[in-house]
Structure 1
Amino acid sequence: MENSEKKTVKYDKKTALFKAEHYCAYQERAQQEVRNKLYEWGLRPDEVEDNISELITTNYLNEERFAQAYVSGKFNIKKWGKIKIKQALKLKKVPEKMILKALNTIDYDDYLKAILVSAEKKSGLIKESDPYKRRNKLITYLMTKGFENNLIMEVLKDNDLY
């Protein structure tokens, strides 16, 4: 008989804090990710909030720093647009104010260039002879990457991809 259930390890408050410090030191984390992990380790709500406060005080946990790193990574590496990044950060329960501040760090020219590069790359892969359907597929693809519709149109028109 195989036990398919994952064993959950329970920690006391001090051990959980130590483990959470390592969890946060490994990579930037959102408060909600750490909160979920602490609950997973069997801590009570008051202990979880005490540990979260301690992690913030010792600067292991910094939501603003997390948002900056997340935006930077998703834009520079994954080439996501602002809409998709914003949605992902909202799912991680990052405050709106911090999301907007982090998104404003993306350079406008680099952003337009990312749209163009994605459009040119996808344009070469679309196997559609009807120009209307072709354009529609390209716009849909760029929107799924999280780019804004008005910027997509602007970039496509300026570069004769429309």
Structure 2
Amino acid sequence: MPEKPTLAEATLKLEYYCSYQERCHQEVLDKLYQLGMKSDEIDAIVVHLLQHNFLNEERFARSFARGKHRIKSWGKIRIVNELKQRHISAPNIKAALSEIDDTEYYQIFETLAQRHWNSLTERDGQKKNKKFCDYLLRRGWESQLVYEKMKEFGSSTGSD
């Protein structure tokens, strides 16, 4: 097992770790425990990272929401759940959701729904509807949106 880094080495490592990509507090704590740091050292490093703006939970939450929505086409429900898993506070989650423009949100939903509906090869109408809904719900889209879209596609294709 590699030997434990000094406080200065660990601080430098974590500065790089946080500057490479936005991190939440939990990821930083996990990394510090992985390095074998003691709790008083961890506190000192986290305070240093906060004071020098390497670690900013609101900035992380906003960046996370923008990225997961635009790149992975996640809906708001999935984004909120993932942020909660990372112990992000409610005000920061609210700030993160404000990063998602409503027009863009519905545009991405429409594109994703259309693409997935067209990609389904299922012939049985009920099975196709279930696969369609399950896929979009898993990605965190609101059930009302998903079911309305399923009805719209189901009625437009007739007996398909």
TM-score for the superposition, normalised by structure 2? 0.88
Q: What does residue 140 of structure 2 align with?
A: 146
Paired with 2:32 and 2:45, the residues of 1 have a C-alpha distance of 8
**Equivalent residues of 1:112, 1:155 under 8 A apart:** no
Range with greater deviation from structure 2 (79-88 or 8-17): 8-17
Q: Which of the residues 43, 53, 56 maps onto 1:49?
A: 43
Selected match of 2:71 from 55, 67, 77 = 77
Stretches of structure 2 lacking an aligned partner (at least 5 in a row): 155-160
Letter in 2 for 1:18: L
For the pair 1:126 / 2:120, whether they are aligned, the reply is: yes
Q: Report deviation, 1:44.
A: 0.7
Which stretch of structure 1 is more off in the superposition, 132-141 or 113-122?
132-141
Does structure 1 retain, via aligned residues, the 8 Å contact 2:129–2:150?
A: no
Pick the structure with more helix per residue.
2
- For 1:136 and 1:67, locate their aligned partners in 2 and report how far apart those are by CA, in whole Å: 32
CA-to-aligned-CA distance 1:43-68 (integer Å, 9 cap, x gap): 11111011101100110110110111
8 A Cα contact 1:71 1:85, kept in partner? yes
Query: Residue 8 of structure 2 aligns to which amino acid in structure 1?
Result: K
**Displacement of 1:130:** 2.6
Matches within 5 A, 1:6-85: 7-85=1-79
Quote the Cα distance in structure 1 between the aligned partners of 2:3 and 2:103.
48
- AA aligned to 1:111 is Y
Following superposition, which runs of at least 4 residues in structure 1 exceed 6 angstroms of deviation?
A: none
RMSD, matched Cα: 1.5
2:92 aligned with 1:98 = yes
* Whole-Å separation in 1 of the counterparts to 2:3 and 2:70: 37
